[in-house]
Chains A and B, each alone.
Chain A
Amino acid sequence: MASKTIWPVGPQHPAIDEPIFLKLELEGSTVKDVELNLGYVHRGIEKLVEGKLIETALYTVERVCGICSHSHANPFTEAVESVLEIDVPAKVKYQRTIIGELERMHSHLLWSAVMMRELGFETEFMFFMHEREKVLDVFEELTGNRLFHALNFIGTSRVNFMRDDLIRAEKKLDIDVEHYERVVKNQRGVVERLKGVGKISKETALEYGLVGPVARASGVEFDVRKADKYDAYGNVEFKLVAREEGDAYARMLVRFHELKESKRILEQVFASISYDEGIPKRSDYQIVEGVGMARIEAPRGENFHFVAIEQNKVKRVKIRTPTLANILMYSELLKGADVTDVPVIIASLDPCFGCLERVLVVEDGREENLSGREFKEKFKGAEICTGMKD
């Protein structure tokens, strides 16, 4: 009988870009049990914004994540706009859509690069990063910054995209996704390492409430862009692709497909955005008391923001990120897997631990923000959604 060993993965590990501590119990080379320990990048953002003015909170909330910064700024802004009952002009919606789709492309290209690196395909890693630079250049051209775009104001945009800006942007986005997809699909090493690995059935995906490309790769046909048609998504045509296999290979193909669809969406938006219409100036507003919520389709899935406002200051913000929705799957997927597949499985789920680190109080519903240690001491033995065991 194979001996049992404890295999620590993290908090610093070459396979993981952000700190997380996975304690794997191995029998031979098979993972028997997984203990997931989080909390290394918890920054207390939800606590930080309490009592702040809305614009200051918006600045902070945008910094939940570097890869999907607009994907946090946007739902927060829309949640506040829902309190004010503002319907922003079409130009503002189109601009938000442009940045949202560019962010999706950026995220998926970065994911592709990281995945190739996990598979030892260093050259493709370099080429994907090279393509990602094109998107970052477009971000810099349009918004002045590569990562934190600060595009949104309540009811308007900080920047007004002009025709020349978008023509230059469109020229820079000559990313041949089909070529990279062909290269990767023809690589035996890639296909062999990804096919059949980390399988999630549709029933499991629905039971765990998975979101984003992970869910779509398991046959769950849900996308907030199609469901809610927020921003300009009601005016553009794009396909929602779901696959049935549910393995890491299917998740890769779904992301490649979304890259192609993002390009299509951007082409349509560039063609239909109005340059005659300007954007409204920033105006004062007064919120005595109000509660708003909004969700958008971030690159990793549904990102939900709840905002409670009092006297123009944030009383409470609750952020449910897509990685938080998908995190419970990690323990279940890794059990029974071969240890060599651990980095591949983790990477295929595209986690963003910076986004993920939230405190969830589920037992008595009192509003409290606790550190990881305080939380463990207070709720020792409780079943908690982060997957921590005590």
Chain B
Amino acid sequence: MNSGKAGILIVDDRVENLRALEAVLEPLGCRIVTACSGRDALKLLLEEQFAVILLDVQMPEMDGFETASYIRDRHRTRAIPIIFLSAVSTSADHVFRGYEAGAVDYIVKPIDPVAIRSKVRVFLELYERGE
């Protein structure tokens, strides 16, 4: 199932955020796939596996929590680590909801590039070791 190189899925409804994160993570040298909605993310997840998903919480139509619940309900995608990205301050309630939805991490924007690169690198390595 984990065939091919580890890939990152970035989901955010704002294109400028997707471009910014792509630039930050590009030095990791892995495949980066972007989606601008929860639904587009689900379509991509039907076709391929990813080592980690960066998931914006505040999205129109289907927010990050709802998207994560679909991802978690499917056996094949249940174990993919999800890092939530939020513009809202980390109120305990919001963070708790994030972890309930299956997040392994919850990061508040604006994002520290060094921090997010190391966090993502960890999951890429875990994925490749897990084969």
B is a partner of A: no
